[in-house]
């Protein structure tokens, strides 16, 4: 079996986590230095995989700061030329390359509208860092495979550290050490994902379902399976599943359930029971004992990467370069 680029880049994740862990206090200082005096909210600007890290940020920033958080609607700026007042807002722009024109434009305009802007990027000297008041580098090394892996988990980790700088959320050094160990252990033992991919190989679709913080991992895992294995995958929250798509459930559409914590276990269990009524093949990726809930989505995302890679290989596809995708997306 071919050793793929994406496999190599996935394997770097424990090191990437370790490098961020060393800088965690410095990251928090950098965030606090640019924080508006009276924070009115936190807005996230991203596309693609970065958008899924932004979803995690949206949850963690709100629970930590107590202030509303949400995702930007770029077209309001780039198409409608909205006159905005973003005073008091912290805006976080996420872009792997730092060169996605739409993200750079929106961050520049929101800064002009009064926001403080933080960039989370792998691009040290990029158009995005030139716009930002503070830069949190993912420092994940070059990412050459088209599917983003190590840069996404690095973004998710920086998002969690950022959130811990603006309020009550606590993430300490021990948590970060455990996260590195957990991810290293996952990568050393891909069997759970491999056997699942073998079992589900012939299915044309997949639902990835979670609740709360892990919803971000559901979206990212679905995106990864979709782009790497060309499987029609979709990420959903438990209520969204039960509010509609459950009616179309069938034995051809397997469901990956992502456990997050005791707080959301009942939701996952409820979804699981309902799916049993429809004879839906299901698999549950369990929450990792001891890991803070804010970091659980990173472990779940790594599992999603493993599943996507294994599913692609099972279908004789090249996980490094899915058809039609290029690395920097030039939507603007």
- Interface residues toward its own copies, by CB under 8 A: 40-41, 43, 47-48, 58-59, 62-63, 66-71, 73-76, 79-80, 82-86, 88-89, 102, 113, 168, 205, 211-212, 215, 223, 226-227, 230, 232, 234, 237-240, 242-249, 263-264, 267, 322-325, 329, 331
**Closest approach of Cβ 190 to its own copies, in Å?**
24
Alpha carbons 65 and 31: distance in angstroms, whole number:
13
Of 125 and 250, which CB lies nearer to its own copies in the complex structure?
A: 250
Q: Pick between residue 183 and residue 253 the one whose CB is nearest to its own copies.
A: 253
The distance of closest approach from Cβ of residue 222 to its own copies in the complex, given in angstroms and rounded to an integer, is 11
CB of 81 to its own copies, least distance (A): 9
Comparing CB distances to its own copies, the nearer of 11 and 242 is 242
- Whose Cβ is closer to its own copies: residue 21's or residue 225's? 225
Of the two residues 64 and 186, which places its CB atom closer to its own copies in the complex?
A: 64
- Cβ at position 290, least distance to its own copies in Å: 19
């Amino acid at each position: 079996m071919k050793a793929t680029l994406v496999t190599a880049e996935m394997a770097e994740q424990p090191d990437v986590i370790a490098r961020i862990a060393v800088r965690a206090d410095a990251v928090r200082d950098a965030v606090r230095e640019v924080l508006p005096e009276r924070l009115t909210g936190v807005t996230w600007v991203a596309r693609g995989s970065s958008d899924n890290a932004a979803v995690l940020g949206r949850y963690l920033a709100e629970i930590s700061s107590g202030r509303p958080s949400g995702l930007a609607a770029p077209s309001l700026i780039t198409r409608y030329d909205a006159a905005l007042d973003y005073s008091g807002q912290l805006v976080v722009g996420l872009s792997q390359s730092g060169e996605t024109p739409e993200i750079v434009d929106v961050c520049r305009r929101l800064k002009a509208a009064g926001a403080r802007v933080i960039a989370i990027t792998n691009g040290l000297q990029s158009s995005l860092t030139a716009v930002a008041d503070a830069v949190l580098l993912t420092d994940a090394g070059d990412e050459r495979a088209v599917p983003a892996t190590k840069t996404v988990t690095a973004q998710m980790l920086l998002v969690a550290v950022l959130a811990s700088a603006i309020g009550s959320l606590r993430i300490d050094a021990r948590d970060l050490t455990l996260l590195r160990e957990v991810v290293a252990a996952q990568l050393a033992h891909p069997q759970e994902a491999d056997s699942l991919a073998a079992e589900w190989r012939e299915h044309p679709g997949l639902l990835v379902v979670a609740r709360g913080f892990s919803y971000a991992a559901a979206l990212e895992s679905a995106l990864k399976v979709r782009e790497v294995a060309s499987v029609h995958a979709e990420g959903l929250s438990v209520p969204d599943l039960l509010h509609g798509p459950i009616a179309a459930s069938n034995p051809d559409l397997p469901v990956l359930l992502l456990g997050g914590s005791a707080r959301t276990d009942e939701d996952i269990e409820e979804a699981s029971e309902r799916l049993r009524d429809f004879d839906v093949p299901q698999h549950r990726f369990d929450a990792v004992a001891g890991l803070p809930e804010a970091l659980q989505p990173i472990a779940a995302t790594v599992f999603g990467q493993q599943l996507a890679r294994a599913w692609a290989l099972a279908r004789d596809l090249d996980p490094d370069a899915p058809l039609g995708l290029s690395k920097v997306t030039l939507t603007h």
